[in-house]
Amino acid sequence: MTGHGEKQYDPRMHSAEHIANQTMVRMFQTGRAFSAHIEKKKSKLDYHFDRPLTDTEVKELELRVNEVIEADLAVTEEFVEKAEAAEHFNLSRLPEDAPDRIRILRIGDYDACPCSGPHVKSTREIGRFRIISTGFENGVLRIRFKLDQPAEQ
């Protein structure tokens, strides 16, 4: 769950966060980031992990995220009952006062995640995903990234 309270996240960065999370899950069988700091200029994601990423892995992660972005996948939402959502998603980060119907954000058939924040309508609006740096300390892998402006449509 990407619970964001009253923060106004940048839709492009926020959608990129979802794609990066799913890519980490697929590449390394990690969970989604347990902590995220999403800003318009640069963002960071923290994962429970057992080692630093190699340069090759960083390049592969960046490449895979950009392939999803360039695929121009539709970003859609649906609302499901909380009980149904709990069968498919980890709802531990839902706020106490979450409604009975949960918004599920889908990025094509690549990712689905409960989320209340703003998103792009298509992945092509995100622009190029660039990993600025990665760090590893005390079982936490941190990935910092930026987005280049999308090409003119």
Query: What's the Cα-to-Cα distance from 101 to each of 5, 69, 92, 95, 124, rounded to whole Å?
Result: 17, 28, 15, 13, 29
Residue at 16 is within a domain: yes
Is 86 within the bounds of a domain? no
Q: Name the residue range of residue 26's domain.
A: 11-74+119-147
Q: What is the CATH number of the domain that holds 40?
A: 3.30.980.10
For 91-145, how does the pLDDT look when each residue is reduced to its tens digit (9 = 90+)? 887 888 888 899 999 999 999 999 988 999 999 999 999 999 999 999 999 999 9
pLDDT (0 to 100) of residue 6: 42
Evaluate whether 145 touches 38 at the Cβ level (below 8 Å): no
Over 70: is that where the pLDDT of 59 sits? yes
Evaluate if pTM is beyond 0.85. Answer: yes
